[in-house]
Amino acid sequence: MSLKRLTKVFLYVSLVEFSLCFITNGLTAEDKKLDENECWEIYYDFIAKTKPYGIPIDKQEHEKKIKPKIKFFRIVSYSNCIEYCAELGDEKNTFMLIDRCTGEVRNFMLTKIAYTYLAEFSQPIDKKPLLTYEKVKEIAKPYLSFVKSIKFDEYIVQGGFRHGFWTVSFQRALNGIPFGDDSLSVSYSEKYGVFVYTNTMISEECDTNPKITAEEAILLAKKHLPSVTKSDKNTISEAPKAKLLIVRPSMLKGSLPENISFKEIVKTLLVWRVIIFVNDNNAMTIFIIDAIDGKLLDFSLLPLDVGGK
């Protein structure tokens, strides 16, 4: 499949992920979470350790130039997985989300720089990097020290250089199996340094021994193919692929019920993700199958022929 078509898939998935979020203002009196002063300590400690481009590290100078504010929310989000959070920063320079239960920084962004790159994202940028990928990985690796609420020793590193900046993602893994929703990623500009940081590592561990084989998962996916494509005349374009993942089942249906508890969100399940390209690669079907009992948990159909192959 061409890079252009892969990019369409990535953008589609990113937009879906971004949309799966709902926020409720206010906290109840009995909630025991980090208070305002504790959140500000984390904010300034993160800035002091990471030294973001153009952002004063000295607290007094920072308050004078940036004028950051703080807001408390209750949030349940696919991308952030925070229940109680604090939003700190201003609208023009810095943006930070802090998990008030764990004290971890879930998101940090240099707003102006990030929006500049986003505005140019759809435009080809004829620029070659000066640094190597290995060097950028070493720059990004110290950010793993900000993960404190869980312990992990295994991760898969992915990334590369596109649209004028580097992206490095450390995807959490267990016994060689990646977590579908747990990763720490940074976006790095050779001019501005790290300008986006995201930490979604929070899921519980689960049994990593599948009872269903990859071959059985593919057969189950093929069985469900007509109901997904709404046709019994599908031609499979290439050999289906099955991959083991650890996922949060509460996130599979496209939206979260408002009464779901945070304990339910972080529970995980071992699944097979089966990908089947059909009809001359004009569509990609994705099946999520329980690796223990073979139950179909979720599926999606992504058209890939928009704008040509």
Q: Is residue 278 part of a domain?
A: yes
Mean pLDDT, the chain, as a whole number? 83
pLDDT class of 117 with cuts at 50, 70, 90: confident
The span from the CA of 232 to the CA of 49, in Å, is 57
Indicate whether 10 and 150 sit together in one domain: yes
Closest CA to 247 of 184, 185, 177: 177
Tokens representing 292? Answer: 């223990």
Are 11 and 156 found together in one domain? yes
Query: Does some domain include residue 308?
Result: no
User: Is the CB of residue 167 less than 8 Å from the CB of residue 187?
Assistant: yes
What digits encode the pLDDT tens for the residues 92-113? 999 999 999 889 999 999 999 9
* Residue 14 resides in a domain: yes
> Are residue 169 and residue 260 in the same domain, yes or no?
no
Taking the C-alpha atoms of residue 23 and residue 73, their distance in angstroms, rounded to an integer, is: 7
Range of weakest confidence among 8-22, 112-126, 290-304: 8-22
**DSSP string covering 151-188, please?**
----EEEEEEEETTEEEEEEEEEETTEEEEEEEEEEEE
- Residue finishing a domain among 167, 199, 231: 199
Q: For the chain, how many structural domains are there in total? A: 2
- The H or E element that residue 136 is part of is helix 133-140
Residues 168, 75 share a domain: yes
What does the DSSP 8-state code read for residue 97? E
Can you give the pTM of this predicted structure? 0.80
Same domain for 191 and 220, yes or no, is no
Query: Residue 70 pLDDT > 60, yes or no?
Result: yes
* 159-180 pLDDT, tens digit each: 999 888 999 999 999 999 999 8
Regarding whether 150 and 21 lie in a shared domain, the answer is yes
Same domain, 76 and 35: yes
Asked whether residue 83 is assigned to any structural domain, the reply reads yes
Q: Examine the domain organization and report whether 139 and 59 are in the same domain.
A: yes
Q: Which of 245, 233, 214 is nearest to 278 (CA)?
A: 233
Are residues 252 and 126 part of one domain?
no
Domain span including residue 174: 3-199
Q: What is the DSSP letter of 240?
A: -
Residues 190 and 276 reside in one and the same domain:
no
Give residues with Cβ within 8 angstroms of 262, minimum separation 6. 76, 83, 101
